[in-house]
Structure 1
Amino acid sequence: MWGPSVLTVTLLGLASISNGVLAATAGCGKAGSLNTGVQKLTVNGKSRQYTLQLPVNYNSTHPYRVVFGWHGANDNMDVTVRGTLVQPPGSFPYFGLQPLAKESAILVAPDALNKAWYNRNDEDYAFFDAMLAQLSAGLCVNEKQVFSIGFSHGGAFTKALSCKRASSHRGVIILDGGGPIDGSSGCVDDPMAALIVHGVSDGIQGGRTTRDLYVKRNGCAATNAREPVANSRTPHILTEYQGCKEGFPVWYIAFDGQHWMAPWDGGSGNNGEKTFTPAAAWRFITQFQ
């Protein structure tokens, strides 16, 4: 739980304060043992991999926020890294966050087994744990500034992580992730900052139910969020819920569209150069200082 007190501690001559808590990890002040590129791990006896993107001019004395990007079903980490699921190809790397985060965040693109986050025997939870441990040991990480963003099946898994790994996350961003799934609805006592983005023509009731789950978790005041009319080609509508527990906002964006990772107002699909989601996601992430 985030407390109001301020604790200042020196670690290898470094200190980082985030919401009043020291956030620097063991990798701070050390020569980085990880570089941009594909990283491999063995988790529960299985070979796993992820792609790492370090900030421009990475500085081992500065604790960085970390953003995990979870791809959808039937895809892989390369889709996240290159942004090739949207048009124009390659204009949406790391869900469009790379151009915004190039100097201030460590970006991670995990790769699913068999192209989906089935999480058999909790193996994908263990994969997340192993990645975060490796990053914290080898890089300077702000452990109070860890986020996950996911699309579709990756969004559904992000919801599950926000419950089962709530203590490891500062917030989550869910893009067309449907309704609550196993592992994402039994943690109403654990607040979690959340941004939910959902198309009104993509089973919108699932998006509303997910939104309401976080509204309840965070103690926000219930309200009927406005939504565009389907096929009206009107702009997306952002609702920032009021009365939430301090430090745990809930944002909800409804857009006129379908199952799109990079929707744009007045458009008819994904466009990485026109989409509003990266700016909204980055504003959501960077409100936590």
Structure 2
Amino acid sequence: MRSASVLSLALLGSAVTLSGAMAASAGCGKAVTLTSGVKKLTVKDKTRQYTLQLPANYDPTHPYRVVFGWHGANDNMDVTVKGSLVQPAGSFRYFGLQPLANDSAILVAPDALNKAWYNRNDEDYAFFDAMLAQLAGGLCVNEKQIFSLGFSHGGAFAKALSCKRASSLRGVIILDGGGPIDGSTGCSDDPIGALVVHGVNDGIQGGRATRDLYVKRNGCSTATNPKEPAVNSKAPHILTEYQGCKDGFPVWYIAFDGQHWMAPYDGGSGNNGEKTFTPAAAWKFITQFQ
């Protein structure tokens, strides 16, 4: 087990590789049928929508990784697209990943029914399935590079997807997403890459429980009690990269001195899209899978 600040993320480990790591979808090589913007689907007799952001110079012969970004409760997809809960305005588009991706990924901002991921009758699972099918059929997608990222209630749903749709996902990123997966009966035992980010002043026991769920699931051999900054210490966040996990299925854990913030920063008191460490950590986590 190692601990470090995100400033030294570049020094942590090497790229994770798997055999057959590239899996081109049916949409590769076809004429483009989807463009950036709001898309609508009928799922379980309800109209659902999401915002799609394609690379500026999208190449239909290149399989792209895909990142789904799940907004929190009482919000909508526009919060994800515009980053409107974080200042300065526009600094946290698609959880701050859009500028870091540099046109190397397809970004998806799903919209919840009634502003929350209640998943009644598995309708949100079905929504994810329908979006992924539409993307894979109409675009060139690397089906071994699908990621799910969420904040708060969206983080809880991202966890649920990692339980129920493990075969479709390469990794999951949970930002202040609370405790273990709710209703996990029948949860897949398949390992999945995981990054858990949680504030020590935001019910940290829930973040630890989420972390430990993936530590166990991925068979990591190191202890589950890494260092964390003290509450109100204004100490830097601490990144732990677990060791001994199943090959190709890392578990990273970031504890920060703060509360329920989407874009925390060291020594800060809220969301700041220019100073936050979460986008760099999330993008580093995603791009280790080569």
Give deviations 1:232-275, integer Å, cap 9, x for gaps.
00100000000000000000000000000000001111001110
What amino acid is the match of 1:120? R
Residues 158 and 172 in structure 2, CA contact (< 8 A), matched pair in contact too: yes
Residues 166 and 188 in structure 2, CA contact (< 8 A), matched pair in contact too: no
SS in structure 1 of the partner of residue 284 of structure 2: helix
Deviation at 1:103, TM superposition (A): 1.6
Indicate yes or no: 2:283 matched with 1:287.
Answer: no
Please, what TM-score do these two structures have when normalized by structure 1? Answer: 0.92
Q: Distance in 2 between matches of 1:269 and 1:19?
A: 42
Give deviations 1:169-197, integer Å, cap 9, x for gaps.
00000000000132447536211100000
Number of the residue aligned with 1:114: 114
What amino acid is the match of 2:270? G
Q: Distance in 1 between matches of 2:215 and 2:22?
A: 28
What amino acid is the match of 2:91? S
SS in structure 2 of the partner of residue 94 of structure 1: coil
Q: Distance in 2 between matches of 1:124 and 1:102?
A: 29
Q: Distance in 1 between matches of 2:259 and 2:186?
A: 28
Give deviations 1:68-108, integer Å, cap 9, x for gaps.
00000000000000000111121100000000113210000
In the superposition, relative to structure 1, how do residues 242 and 186 fare at CA in structure 2: closer, same or farther (>3 Å)? farther
**Which runs of 5 or more structure 1 residues have no equivalent in the other structure?**
1-16
In the superposition, relative to structure 1, how do residues 229 and 185 fare at CA in structure 2: closer, same or farther (>3 Å)? farther
The more displaced of 20-29 and 36-45 is: 20-29
In the superposition, relative to structure 1, how do residues 19 and 101 fare at CA in structure 2: closer, same or farther (>3 Å)? farther
Number of the residue aligned with 2:243: 242
Number of the residue aligned with 1:10: none
The alignment covers a number of residue pairs equal to 273
Residues 18 and 248 in structure 2, CA contact (< 8 A), matched pair in contact too: no
Residues 68 and 149 in structure 1, CA contact (< 8 A), matched pair in contact too: yes
The more displaced of 19-28 and 30-39 is: 19-28
Q: Distance in 1 between matches of 2:31 and 2:188?
A: 40
Q: Distance in 2 between matches of 1:77 and 1:42?
A: 17
Indicate yes or no: 2:60 matched with 1:60.
Answer: yes
Give deviations 1:91-149, integer Å, cap 9, x for gaps.
10000000011321000000000000000000000000000000000000000000000
SS in structure 1 of the partner of residue 94 of structure 2: helix
Q: Distance in 1 between matches of 2:181 and 2:259?
A: 20
% of aligned pairs identical? 82
Number of the residue aligned with 2:49: 49
Q: Distance in 2 between matches of 1:225 and 1:48?
A: 41
Residues 163 and 183 in structure 1, CA contact (< 8 A), matched pair in contact too: no
Give deviations 1:200-219, integer Å, cap 9, x for gaps.
00000000000000000000
Number of the residue aligned with 1:276: 277
Give deviations 1:12-58, integer Å, cap 9, x for gaps.
xxxxx963255001100011100010000000110000000001200
Indicate yes or no: 2:162 matched with 1:132.
Answer: no
Number of the residue aligned with 2:192: 192
Number of the residue aligned with 2:73: 73
What amino acid is the match of 1:250? V
Q: Distance in 2 between matches of 1:262 and 1:126?
A: 29
Q: Distance in 2 between matches of 1:123 and 1:239?
A: 35
Q: Distance in 2 between matches of 1:84 and 1:247?
A: 35
Pairwise CA RMSD of aligned residues? 1.3
Residues 162 and 184 in structure 1, CA contact (< 8 A), matched pair in contact too: no
Q: Distance in 2 between matches of 1:202 and 1:221?
A: 27
Number of the residue aligned with 1:255: 256
SS in structure 1 of the partner of residue 245 of structure 2: coil
What amino acid is the match of 1:174? I
Q: Distance in 1 between matches of 2:21 and 2:77?
A: 32
In the superposition, relative to structure 1, how do residues 21 and 89 fare at CA in structure 2: closer, same or farther (>3 Å)? closer
Number of the residue aligned with 1:9: none
In the superposition, relative to structure 1, how do residues 21 and 256 fare at CA in structure 2: closer, same or farther (>3 Å)? closer
Q: Distance in 2 between matches of 1:95 and 1:41?
A: 24
Number of the residue aligned with 2:5: none
Q: Distance in 1 between matches of 2:103 and 2:21?
A: 23
SS in structure 1 of the partner of residue 95 of structure 2: helix
Q: Distance in 1 between matches of 2:238 and 2:210?
A: 17
Residues 36 and 51 in structure 1, CA contact (< 8 A), matched pair in contact too: yes
**Which runs of 5 or more structure 2 residues have no equivalent in the other structure?**
1-16
Residues 263 and 277 in structure 2, CA contact (< 8 A), matched pair in contact too: yes
Q: Distance in 1 between matches of 2:206 and 2:174?
A: 12
